[in-house]
Amino acid sequence: MAEETQELHFLLFPLMSHSHIIPFIDFAMLLAQRGIIVSIITTPLNFTRYQPAIRDAVEAGLKLRMIPLEFRAEEAGLPQGCENLDSVGSMDGILKFLCACEMLAAPLQKLMPDLHPKPSCIVASVVFPWTDRFNIPMYIFNPNSCFSLFCCLLISPGLPAPPDSEPFVVPDIPHKIEFSAAQFSMIMNLKKPGRSSARGTVANCFEEMEGGYVDRYAKVAGSTVWCIGPVSLCNKKSKDEYNYISWLDSKKEGSVMYVCFGSLSRISAEQIKEIGLGLEASGFPFVWIVRDDSQVEVEEWLGDIEERVGDRGLIIRGWAPQVLLLSHPSVGGFLTHCGWNSTLEGVSAGVPMITWPMFFEQFVNEKLVVNVLKVGVEIGAEPPREDQTRELVKWDRVKEAIEKLMDGDEQGRERRTRSKKLAEMAAQALEPHGSSYKNISLFIQDVISTKVSPKPH
């Protein structure tokens, strides 16, 4: 395939959010390793933020670059400099952000003639179906599981919402998947992307984990699906870069709880305190990632808990190298918001999870972890109320969930065994002859085939 890929140029267009850009960059590296020229479209502030993530690959000779386009945030009603979804705090802001994203169509169209060689295809986030207008083959990159996509398709907007007290069971599905009324309503609120003439979907998952849900989703969606993940396994960070690795080295194997709620979740000061009290009461060592913007109200309190737990706890403010931390032998559990990147990183590391979804498809991801893969324990979180407040998860529920996950009883041992087996399958999927490795090849071949008989738009 080396000769065939020499003049291939793939244009990647992620939604400007950490949860989309990072898997896109990882996928770009996997493509560039096959000899393909890859250009990632983004905005100026995101270019500055994420350019270092590809620097080593570029210096190693991979044909990989980022291209910034002007982002008209103010014109869409957003503050100046708002170029990443992570900085948007409301549903109204999200809609304005997506509107600003559509304004990128004109500068992207203007850029096209200047790209050399001519792009062979464009691979865009699922929220950008309009990228099929550029007269080149277009593919959707979906950073979620096929299980989640399948469930969301089955939960049709035409279904009546169940009464508050009644659960809803997803129809026509091999596993019993049940949602509360509040969870069901939130999933129903997911905006279905507009139709496009995409040739197919590239999904950041791997077939062995999904079972028959890949084929089920492809059939219902009427689309070819290539599972090419977990793309995060292409990350090879040096442990020497981070001084807290020595702290993990000092802990017993499988003894540490890792706690992180991702880049989009907003946790109230009251809830942060309950999480901290639960971690303290559990008696287990822990690494806890706390967002930068959470510090103002709780910094003094965090300092108090650090003093009380001493060397048993490590609180990291801001960003942390999650893939590296999860893969450390001392980490034995992951308290997660069930964002797909985090879920897949937990699976890839072989770490069982406490599931604490916050919104939208995270409640579906929870069902995959707990009911299908059986590697997780639910904490019992519900979506926010209409006024955007949430039921407080008290410290004793946090403590109980940690103890249940880390327990060495028969159920705990089986959960840990299944987690380790999934991690082995994830690693094998991206090795030569693995399912995801083969699917990347099939995807590339599909792009090559369009040069001979392109699909009309």
pLDDT digits (tens, 9 = 90+) for 63-89: 999 999 999 999 999 999 999 998 887
427-433 contacts: CB < 8 A, separation 24 or more? 427/233, 427/348, 428/208, 429/206, 429/207, 429/208, 429/227, 429/229, 429/230, 430/30, 430/206, 430/229, 430/230, 430/233, 430/234
Nearest to 14 by CA among 62, 37, 47: 47
Average pLDDT over residues 196-223: 92
Q: What is the pLDDT at residue 296?
A: 67
Whether the pLDDT of residue 292 is over 80: the answer is: no
CATH class of the structural domain 239-426: alpha beta
Pinpoint the residues of the chain covered by CATH 3.40.50.2000.
2-69+104-157+192-229+430-452, 239-426
Domain 2-69+104-157+192-229+430-452 has CATH 3.40.50.720: no
Q: What is the pLDDT at residue 452?
A: 64
Q: What is the pLDDT at residue 457?
A: 47
| C-alpha–C-alpha distance, residues 202 and 440, integer Å | 9
Banded pLDDT at 91 (limits 50, 70, 90): confident
Of the chain, the percentage scoring pLDDT greater than 90 comes to 71
Q: Which residue has the tokens 């972890």?
A: 369
Least confident of 271-275, 315-319, 443-447: 315-319
Least confident of 114-128, 181-195, 244-258, 328-342: 181-195
Q: What is the pLDDT at residue 193?
A: 55
Least confident of 299-308, 317-326, 360-369, 447-456: 447-456
Q: What is the pLDDT at residue 310?
A: 96
pLDDT digits (tens, 9 = 90+) for 238-265: 565 667 899 999 999 999 999 999 877 7
- Global model pTM greater than 0.85: yes
Sort 222 into a burial class: Cβ within 10 Å, 0-12 / 13-18 / 19+: exposed
Q: What is the pLDDT at residue 328?
A: 96
Banded pLDDT at 380 (limits 50, 70, 90): very high
